[in-house]
Structure 1
Amino acid sequence: MKGFVEQRAVELGEYIIQSKATVRKTAKKFGISKSTVHKDVSERLKKVNPQLYRKVKSVLEINKAQRHIRGGMATRRKYKGDC
């Protein structure tokens, strides 16, 4: 069972890098919780594949810096009626 968790962490990391996905989008794609995705890519991946971890970390840092913009755009669409 332990090998499955490490493999999942690598798969999640590769998906995040390829699609520049957020934690939320990744969780939805794989059918798992956001906290599981976060734990896998921030803790487990660091031990399993440090090089991949660094790449994922940089993508997530960009996403984190942009999240206030995405939130504002979503709110604008909500009240503008473009949903």
Structure 2
Amino acid sequence: MTEQKKDYTMQQAALMLDVHRDTIMYWEEKGLIPPARRNQKNNYRVYNIDEVMKIAELRGIGAVDEEAVEREKIKRQLERKRKKQLAAYS
């Protein structure tokens, strides 16, 4: 059985590469990186970790922060929790 690699959104890939999502779009438009795969349901660009690492290699980015996506999720969860708490006290 083959292990399915997780797909990341363009925003998540940009977060891992520490660039703006528009930068990835620009690189793709100029042919500086291979075109992204597309989600068949919504046609959004998607990347797996190998593709993100390849982009980093092609663009001379020394490190890919694979944990950035998880940190961002935790940050957003904490923000939502704090907003709910503030709303409860209002």
Q: TM-score band (shorter)?
A: 0.3 to 0.5
Q: TM-score, normalised by structure 2?
A: 0.33
Q: Tell me which protein shows more strand as a share of its residues.
A: 2
Q: Which has the larger radius of gyration?
A: 2
The structure in which a higher percent of residues are helix is 1
